Each structure stands twice: as structure tokens, then as C-alpha cells.
């Protein structure tokens, strides 16, 4: 929580910085504040509410195309959804459908290749002309080319009220701050695409996988959706406070199967942490996954139990230990947005479709990557008419939205939606 002593850095971020540029995720503390101030407005709760329609529109279009009785490549579909949503938030309609699909495929290849490049410090290995190296290099280069083309086209055209519009205004120093360079605009967009797509897709894929294995949690979710959104109605911003059970499912998914599982910091001076003396330049690793699976914070941590997050249930200790979006001033800038997107996408899709594991399904073993989650989940799809249920929906009155302070330690924004 002291970013001056525990700065971004270490092998993970140093190498990510070379690959992603000097964006918000990898930058050091000295330049962080200006970058964060520039991007923050696009992710404020007031802005996030404006994105609800585009999330539900994309989610409904996606799942309405799934054949009832067929199979669905769930992880791929969720990656399509999160790519389409984030590209509209960042770039409005600057990417046509085929290019958005290409961006999705490039991001998948880049994210796969990033982790091994951050943990294996032998550059020569990655210069070899292997198919995997070629795929990674082509995807990264194509991603840069697409982003450059979008920026160039926007510079020639009209201003738009989106994240790219904010960044381009900053190159002209329309505000009070010093102008940023074209390279910074590029690095910010690449960073936001790389951070905002896969984490979100894995969170949603994990939620569907967990729900299919926990019929009671699934039944409670359906009961809420049938009560709040009868007839599979698409949710709007006013429905968010009433989607209590849905939000609990997302929160418990983020606890149980946190997509971000390992991060590093570097000490900028000799210091002490939890009784350990650390010299300047030491790499410190922290893992939301381990914190979320510590039985002293979360009894029976392997159990998927969305009710842990019902209003009034989590203790102060659990709120502190729950940090899928990290904490402090380097907390995820997209936390509010990610929660709203996940709740709305889950409500929209689960309101219309029921996803089941295929016969003989074996749960994927967690495989470490830059993120963690089911990377190739395929499920069976059925359409869903209202499910009569003995379990009543969570009463509406329990769900008053709370004011938010996105930097509060460990308060992951679950209650802010
Ligand atoms: C379920 C979805 C998401 C999860 C679990 C997640 C998780 C995280 C975590 C754990 C960090 C802190 C990393 C560290 O401590 O080193 C982080 C930072 C960040 N995330 Fe997310 N994230 C998600 C969605 C998003 C979205 C949708 C965006 C925006 C498009 C985004 C953009 C960022 C950025 C820019 C940072 C760096 C913030 C800073 O250093 O000031 N994330 N995220």
C-alpha cells in the first residue's frame, strides 16, 4: 500500500514494459499520477453507467446467436464480447467487425506469449523461428498496426467522446497538463486492450463453469433474474442495484477463480515487510489467488458460495483480503467498469441461455499464465424459459448502492455497482 517503497517493477513488469510500452500498468510511480489522472475520467462510475446499454446489446446479440441444443466455445465467446465492449469504450465505432475479430485473435496470441517471455529471461529463445514465436510476433505487430491506423484515421476526422478522444485532446494540451506524445496515446490503448479483455473474459467463463457445477447457486441466480428481468428483459442501469445475487456470483467468482493471480513490486529502499527485512531492489510477489484461498480469511475457501457476499455478510477482514483488482493507488482503473460489465453480461446471458458442462467434462487444471482461468471452455447451450423456483429472489430493499472510493484497500468495488 506504500507505492513509493513498493514500486512497480521486477522481472514481470520490466519485461512487460518492453512489450507493452510505458502505459499505466507498467509505469513507475514517478510518472503514474499524470497517466492515471488522464485516463480516470473515462472509468468514473458516472461514465460507467453510460456503458450499460452497449454491454447488454453486445451480450444479447452474442447469446441470441447460440444454437439452443448446440455447443458454445464459452471462453472464445466471452473474449469476443469483452473485445467488442472495450473497443467501443475506447474507440467508439472505429473498428469494423472483422477488425475487432482480428484484434481479439491478436490479443489471445499476445497474452499467451507474454507470460513465458516474462518468466524465461532468455531473449534468444524467442528469436527462434518456431510457429509459436512467429504467431506471437505477427499478432503483436498486427495489433500495433491496427492501433496506429485507428489513431491516424481519427486525427484526420472529427473528435469523438471516447477514451481515444480524451487521449488525442491531451496531445494537443487542450487541458492544463503538458501535452502527451503520440507514442503515449498508442501505449495507453495497447495497455487498456491487453488488460481489459482477457481478465474480463476469464471472469465470465469461470462464472458459467462454476454455476454449472453448483446447481443451488445457479437456481438462486435464475430466481433473481426471473423476478428482476421477467421474460429475459435486457437489464438497464436502474436494475443494477436489484441484481444482488448476480453481483454475488461475480464477486465469488473473482474470489474463487481470480483471473489476476500473481503480481510483483520492487523495493525502492531498504525496508521491512511483515517482520522481514528487505534490501533496496528486492522483488516482492503478491498473489490475490493465495489471499482469496486463505482459510483464515475465507472459511472453506475451495467452496464456491456466492452468499458470502450478500449485503452485510462479508467482514472487514474479508473485504481487506478480497483484492481481485488489487488495492491502493495501483488498483485496477477498470474495477467499476469490470464489475458492471460482468454483472450485466451475466444477467443478460443467464436470463436467456442455460450453459451446461458437456458429458465427461473434466475441470481444467489451473495453468499459470499472465492470467488464470478456463482458456478453452466449451459448454452445451439450452434456451431458458423462466424457472419456477422455491427460492425467492433476494429482496430488493437489501441492495442500496453505496458511494464508492475505488482506492479503498481491498474494497473491490463489488458493492459499488
Ligand atoms: C475482471 C476483470 C479485471 C481484473 C480481475 C483486473 C485486475 C487487475 C489487477 C489485479 C490490477 C493490479 C495489478 C498490479 O497490482 O500490479 C489491475 C490493474 C489495472 N487494470 Fe485491471 N482488471 C480487470 C479489468 C480491467 C479493465 C476492464 C480495464 C480497462 C480497460 C483494466 C485496466 C487496468 C489498468 C490500466 C491497470 C493499471 C492501474 C494502475 O496501475 O494505475 N482492468 N487490474
> What digits encode the pLDDT tens for the residues 235-285?
999 999 999 999 999 999 999 999 999 999 999 999 999 999 999 999 999
Which whole number is the average pLDDT over 162-176? 84
Q: Are the CB atoms for 199 and 338 separated by under 8 Å?
A: yes
Q: Give the per-residue pLDDT at 397.
A: 36
pLDDT score recorded for residue 176: 61
* Cα 326 to ligand 1 centroid, rounded to whole Å: 8
Ligand 1 contact, 140 CB (< 6 A)? no
Pure H helices in 128-181: 131-156, 163-171
Q: State yes or no: pLDDT of 410 exceeds 80.
A: no
CB of 374 closer than 6 angstroms to any ligand 1 atom: no
Q: Please give the backbone phi and psi of residue 220, each rounded to the nearest 5 degrees, phi first.
A: -65, -40
Report whether pLDDT(71) > 50.
yes
Pick 391 or 216 by higher pLDDT: 216
Q: What is the pLDDT of residue 12?
A: 80
Most confident of 45-59, 160-174, 261-275, 395-409: 261-275
Domain hosting 398: range is 6-403
pLDDT at residue 362, as a whole number:
85
Q: What is the rounded distance in angstroms from the CA atom of residue 256 to the CA atom of residue 299?
A: 12
**Shortest-distance Cα residue to atom 1 of ligand 1:** 200
20 lines ligand 1 (CB under 6 A): no
- Please say if the pLDDT value at position 119 is more than 90: no
In a domain, 256, yes or no: yes
Measured distance CA(109)–CA(12) in Å, rounded? 18
| C-alpha cell recorded at residue 204 | 465470465
Domain for residue 47, yes or no?
Answer: yes
Query: For the ranges 14-28, 335-349, 385-399, which has the lowest average pLDDT?
Result: 385-399
Ligand 1 in reach of 334 Cβ (< 6 A): yes
The answer to whether the CB of 17 falls within 8 A of the CB of 117 is no
Do 292 and 322 form a contact (C-beta atoms < 8 A)? Answer: yes
Is 325 near ligand 1, meaning CB less than 6 Å away? yes
Which atom in ligand 1 lies closest to the alpha carbon of residue 326?
Answer: 10
Averaged pLDDT, 395-404? 37
Average pLDDT over residues 290-316: 97
Mean pLDDT of the chain: 88
Residue nearest (by alpha carbon) to ligand 1 atom 8: 325
Residue 257 is assigned to a structural domain of this protein: yes
Say yes or no: CB of residue 16 within 6 Å of ligand 1.
no
| Residue 88 reports pLDDT greater than 80 | yes
Whether the predicted pLDDT of 385 surpasses 90: no
Residue 250 has which C-alpha cell?
A: 461475480
Coil, strand or helix at 264: strand
Number of structural domains in the chain: 1
Is 332 assigned a ligand-binding role in the annotation?
yes
What is the predicted pLDDT for the residue at 416? 32
CA of 339 to the centre of ligand 1 (A): 12
Is 206 a pocket residue for ligand 1 (Cβ < 6 Å)?
no
pLDDT class of 415 with cuts at 50, 70, 90: very low
pLDDT higher than 90, residue 303: yes
Mutate to test the pocket of ligand 1, among 196, 334, 409 (most ligand atoms within 8 A of CB): 334
Residue 10 has pLDDT above 90, yes or no: no
Q: Is residue 416 part of a domain?
A: no
Q: Region 61-85: what's the mean pLDDT?
A: 95
CATH code, domain with 30:
1.10.630.10
pLDDT score at 158: 86
Angstrom CA distances, 253 to 250, 272, 314, 324, 344, stand at: 5, 33, 15, 10, 15
Q: Is residue 410 part of a domain?
A: no
Nearest CA-CA partner of 59 in 381, 251, 342 = 342
Q: Which of 412, 342, 370 is nearest to 56 (CA)?
A: 342
3-state helix, strand, coil in the chain (%, to 5): 55, 5, 35
| Neighbouring-strand partners of residue 355 | 381
- The answer to whether residue 405 scores a pLDDT higher than 50 is no
Query: pLDDT at residue 292 above 50?
Result: yes
* Ligand 1 binding pocket includes 267 (Cβ within 6 Å): no
Tell me what the mean pLDDT of segment 99-114 comes to.
93
Please report the DSSP string for 229-244 in residue order. SGGGPPP-GGGGGG-H
In a domain, 217, yes or no: yes
**332 Cα–ligand 1 center, Å:** 4
Determine, yes or no, domain membership for 234. Answer: yes
Residue 408 lies in a domain: no
Amino acid at each position: 500500500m506504500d507505492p513509493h517503497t513498493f514500486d512497480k517493477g521486477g522481472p514481470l513488469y520490466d519485461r512487460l514494459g518492453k512489450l507493452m510500452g510505458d502505459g499505466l500498468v507498467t509505469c513507475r510511480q514517478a510518472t503514474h499520477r499524470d497517466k492515471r489522472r488522464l485516463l480516470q475520467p473515462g472509468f468514473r462510475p458516472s461514465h460507467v453507467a453510460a456503458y450499460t446499454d452497449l454491454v447488454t446489446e453486445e451480450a444479447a446479440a452474442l447469446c441470441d446467436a447460440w444454437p439452443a441444443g448446440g455447443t458454445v466455445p464459452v471462453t472464445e465467446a466471452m473474449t469476443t464480447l469483452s473485445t467488442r465492449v472495450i473497443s467501443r469504450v475506447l474507440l467508439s465505432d472505429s473498428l469494423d467487425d472483422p477488425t475487432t475479430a482480428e484484434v481479439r485473435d491478436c490479443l489471445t496470441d499476445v497474452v499467451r506469449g507474454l507470460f513465458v517471455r516474462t518468466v524465461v529471461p532468455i531473449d534468444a529463445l524467442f528469436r527462434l523461428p518456431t510457429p509459436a514465436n512467429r504467431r506471437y510476433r505477427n499478432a503483436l505487430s498486427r495489433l500495433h498496426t491496427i492501433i496506429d491506423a485507428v489513431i491516424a484515421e481519427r486525427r484526420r476526422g472529427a473528435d469523438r467522446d471516447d477514451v481515444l478522444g480524451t487521449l488525442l485532446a491531451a496531445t494537443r494540451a487542450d487541458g492544463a497538463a503538458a501535452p502527451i506524445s503520440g507514442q503515449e496515446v498508442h501505449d495507453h490503448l495497447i495497455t487498456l486492450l491487453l488488460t481489459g479483455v482477457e481478465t474480463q473474459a476469464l471472469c465470465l467463463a469461470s462464472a458459467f463453469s462454476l454455476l454449472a457445477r453448483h446447481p443451488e447457486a445457479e437456481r438462486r441466480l435464475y430466481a433473481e433474474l426471473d423476478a428482476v428481468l421477467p421474460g429475459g428483459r435486457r437489464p438497464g442501469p436502474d436494475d443494477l442495484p436489484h441484481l444482488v445475487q448476480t453481483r454475488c456470483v461475480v464477486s465469488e467468482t473473482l474470489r474463487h477463480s481470480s483471473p489476476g493471480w500473481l503480481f510483483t513490486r520492487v523495493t525502492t529502499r531498504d525496508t521491512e515487510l511483515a517482520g522481514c527485512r528487505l534490501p533496496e531492489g528486492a522483488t516482492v510477489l503478491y498473489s490475490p489467488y493465495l489471499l482469496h484461498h486463505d482459510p483464515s480469511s475465507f472459511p472453506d475457501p475451495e467452496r464456491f458460495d456466492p452468499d458470502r457476499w450478500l449485503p452485510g455478510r462479508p467482514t472487514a477482514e474479508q473485504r481487506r483480503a478480497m483484492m481481485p483488482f488489487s488495492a491502493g493507488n495501483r488498483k485496477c482503473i477498470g474495477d467499476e467498469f469490470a464489475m458492471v460489465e460482468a454483472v450485466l453480461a451475466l444477467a443478460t446471458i443467464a436470463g436467456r441461455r442455460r450453459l451446461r458442462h458437456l458429458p465427461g467434462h473434466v475441470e481444467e487444471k489451473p495453468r499459470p499464465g499472465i492470467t488464470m482461468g478456463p482458456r478453452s471452455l466449451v459448454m452445451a447451450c439450452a434456451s431458458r424459459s423462466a424457472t419456477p423456483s422455491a427460492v425467492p429472489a433476494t429482496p430488493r430493499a437489501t441492495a442500496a448502492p453505496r458511494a464508492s472510493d475505488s482506492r479503498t484497500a481491498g474494497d473491490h468495488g463489488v458493492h459499488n455497482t
